[in-house]
Amino acid sequence: MAAAITTPPSDDSFWSDADRHLVRYGAEFTREIIDRAAGSFMYTADGRKILDFTSGQMSAILGHSHPAIVATVQRQVATLDHLYSGMLSRPVVDLARRLAGTLPGPLEKALLLTTGAESNEAAIRLAKLVTGKHEIVSFARSWHGMTQAAASATYSAGRKGYGPAAPGNFAIPVPNPYRPDFTTADGSLDWRRQLDFAFDLIDAQSTGSLAACLVEPILSSGGVIEPPAGYFAALRDKCRERGMLLILDEAQTGLCRTGTWYAFERDGIVPDILTLSKTLGAGLPLAAVITSAEIEQEAYDRGFLFFTTHVADPLVAAVGNTVLDVLTEDGLDTRARSLGDFLRKGLTDIAGRHAVVGDIRGRGLLAGLELVVESGTGRSPDELGARITRRCLELGLHMNIVQLPGMGGVFRIAPPLTATEDELSLGLEILDQAIDETGAR
């Protein structure tokens, strides 16, 4: 019997089906039907071309449908895609070895998983087992994922309405130079006093079971906030004093995004456990937990268990190896630095023309633009950011706005590392126009 020929549903029926059958899991769905994507652009079903200034979900560092990734997927899926979780393949061992080669010692043991939440879940589980303790400290505007332990260490959103979080989770204030809470005589952030105060509170609340501190080197969902130089070395010392492990979540900052292979390199520290995701698969579901041989051995001796369906899958591991190939061969760490300087200059120029732009920050090709409004105007940064976001999309630019209580709206800007200066210029031009046309001066 011949297969029936189906006609693609109309846009109206598409949205009717979406509204009827999809669980809504966050922000409202963007009312565009994305048909395909290539390089720095997405293409809608009705033929519109949209510049992607967020690398998908902050992940597609090589752009969309990179030829090397396409070739790897086609080759690997035809030979070896998935295995029993206790079996190994060459792509998995190769990726573990090569990741270790990009990192300082003693980080050399890798666990390959799928998502950032899963990698943070595994890292927390490792830390609890190895230390024999259970308390976890994170930033008050953190985002580490939506599974149980990761969500319990997430404070930027999603805590209300789900019952008790995992016991022993504590938040410390974010060292935000633009909105300092502890200040020096000249009004700048006094992060040392803030950090001392934070751990005085942690010590007062702890039952003596502090296992780990899980933090992002640059808070992305928290508003693209980069703690000052010296902060992480001091934080590491706080952890050492208490027998805690330091876990760094580089889901969005790892693998050249910030102009170095890893954001923690700036601070001259090495975490006890590193988690990677998003950028490692360049848009495909691949994540990793990387730690020392000593920690891995202790965990193994104590019976560490993280046996999941897609642990050590060969298909995405092969993609990870290709990502490392492209990053290395194309020198994308250097490219991210130079393009980041270009982007920063363009954003600074926009700030000079629009008083609603309060701050420009970030590193490499992870940038933040914070909106502010004068009190008494009847406007809010949230409302203004939503309007600018909508206008950008109408003009052909996809932007992402972070809206958290107590902050202005913050645009997270993270184009692919493969973007060109012309593409960045186009995005800057559209953003400038959108700010102007929304009446934001």
Three-state secondary structure call for residue 337: helix
Q: How high is the pLDDT of residue 378?
A: 65
pLDDT computed for residue 402 by the predictor: 86
Identify the pLDDT of residue 96.
Answer: 98
Cβ atoms 40, 415 nearer than 8 A: yes
Active site residues: 143, 216, 249, 252, 278, 412
Go through the domains of the chain in sequence order and give each one's CATH number. 30-59+331-437 (3.90.1150.10), 70-329 (3.40.640.10)
Structure tokens at 135: 């308390």
Q: Give one word for 101, left, alpha or beta, with left for phi > 0 and alpha for psi -120 to 50.
A: alpha
pLDDT score recorded for residue 117: 98
Residues of the chain with pLDDT under 50: 1
Quick check: 182 and 189 in contact, CB under 8 A? yes
The model's pTM is 0.96
For 82, half-sphere exposure in the C-beta direction (CA atoms, 13 angstrom radius) is: 5
* Buried/exposed code over 2-31 (b: 16+ C-beta within 10 A; e: otherwise): eeeeeeeeeeeeeeeeeeeeeeeeeeeeee
Buried b (16+ CB within 10 A) or exposed e, 325-355: ebbeeeebbebbbebbebbbebbeebbeebe
Q: Look at residue 440 in the predicted model and tell me its pLDDT.
A: 56
